[in-house]
Amino acid sequence: MEKSELMLEIYDLKKHFPIKKGLMQRTAGYVKAVDGVSFSIKRGQTMGLVGESGCGKTTVGRTLLRLLSPTGGRSIVDGVDIFSLSKKELRLMRPKMQLIFQDPYSSLDPRLPIGAIIGEAVAEHGIAQKKEIRDYVLKAMQDCELRPYQYDRYPHEFSGGQRQRVCIARALALNPELVVADEPVSALDVSVQAQIINLLRDLQEKRSLSYLFISHDLSVVEYISDTVGVMYLGSLVEFATKPELFKHPLHPYTKALLSAAPTPDPDAKTNRIVLKGDIPSPANPPPGCRFHTRCPECKKVCEEDAPAFKEHSPGHWASCHFAQ
């Protein structure tokens, strides 16, 4: 099959979680964790996805891989419509699209040595012959700068940074083409963060991987991404190439987010946009523009009409009535 230029396309992705109430566990409503998100990632590129806690980043990542059953929309990985596959076909697709978790502590089975953790899925998907698995795993470990003697060690003997390397080795041992990295460095100290980011970039170059890089840290996203999407309460509010988004943000939320991050320069002037109030609950999002309760530029129309997600200049999308 010919390789398509786009590694990932998602259209109007939706994931609603039912809210269960009472003894009968009646469905009393829905948390619209992801409510109509569309974007695409070119082969070999990295898209950063930013937004605050609970805005739906993780849910986007898991739903598009069909690790959660979607409520609606389409997810196309390398030309294949993931949501229309049978269980068996999906299983064959699995190695191609992998997830790296936020928490390197809880995502590794404490009872298994590192070699077995990495080798498990390799054997399951028949990626290497039984006799060759050990060599194959050692090679994958080497790619992630883990030492051969660590093959028989257990997770608790590893530091946070080393565990994250193990998670990366486990995902990359399956030769994926698309990797969803969900806050892969958020639990790590700055100096360890740098090692992991370098590793992810080196592996991308060597294997022309495509990443969806989820993070709440703008400096990390700015460093690693080609394109960036900004989420607020279940929707994408802005999408553009990295330089465009950081230089000419259109959406008031993006502007506030960019100005909110503290800069490590004591002389930098802080023209900070401090947003009022709290992030509303996704179970009960505000009507009209979802950002209107906190938006410093809110007008009457914003309280009633939801703005459309429009392309304002080539490749630069935003949903705000007054974006220009």
Ligand X SMILES: Nc1ncnc2c1ncn2[C@@H]1O[C@H](COP(=O)(O)OP(=O)(O)OP(=O)(O)O)[C@@H](O)[C@H]1O
Q: Burial-class residue 155 by CB neighbours within 10 Å (0-12, 13-18, 19+).
A: buried
**Does the protein bind another protein through residue 214 (CB under 8 A)?**
no
Say which entry of another protein, ligand X, Mg ion, none residue 224 contacts (CB below 5 to 8 A, set by partner kind).
another protein
Q: Give the interface segment with ligand SF4, choosing from 66-74, 78-86, 195-203, 298-306 (CB under 6 A).
A: 298-306
Please name the amino acid found at residue 80. Answer: V
List the one residue from 297, 311, 314, 316 that touches ligand SF4 (CB under 6 A).
Answer: 297
Give the DSSP H/E element, type plus range, for residue 167.
Answer: helix 160-172
227 binds Mg ion (CB under 5 A): no
Question: For ligand SF4, which is the closer residue by CB, 101 or 253?
Answer: 253
Q: What is the residue whose two structure tokens read 């028949």?
A: 126
Q: C-beta of 294: minimal distance to ligand SF4 in Å? A: 8
Q: What angle do CA 291, 232, 265 make, to 5 degrees?
A: 100
Structure tokens at 12: 């109007």
CB of 265 to Mg ion, least distance (A): 25
Planar angle of CA 41, 46, 49, nearest 5 degrees: 85
Q: What burial letters (b/e) apply to 244-261, b meaning 16+ CB within 10 Å?
A: bbbeebbbbbbebbbeee
Q: Which of 45, 46, 59, 210 binds ligand X (CB under 6 A)?
A: 59
Q: Is 213 in the site for ligand SF4 (CB under 6 A)?
A: no
191 binds, among ligand X, Mg ion, ligand SF4, none (CB under 5 to 8 A by kind): none
What is the smallest separation between the CB atom of 307 and Mg ion, expressed in angstroms? 26
- CB 176, min distance to Mg ion, A: 20
Q: What's the Cα-to-Cα distance from 293 to each of 230, 260, 276, 281, 304, rounded to whole Å?
A: 18, 18, 8, 12, 12
39-98 positions binding another protein, by CB under 8 A: 52-53
- Listed residue (194, 216, 203) closest to 168, CA to CA: 203
Residue 284 interacts with ligand X (CB under 6 A)?
Answer: no
Q: Report the interface residues with ligand X, using CB under 6 A.
A: 17, 31, 33, 51, 53-59, 216, 282
Q: Report the interface residues with ligand SF4, using CB under 6 A.
A: 251-252, 289, 291-292, 295, 297-299, 302, 307, 320-322
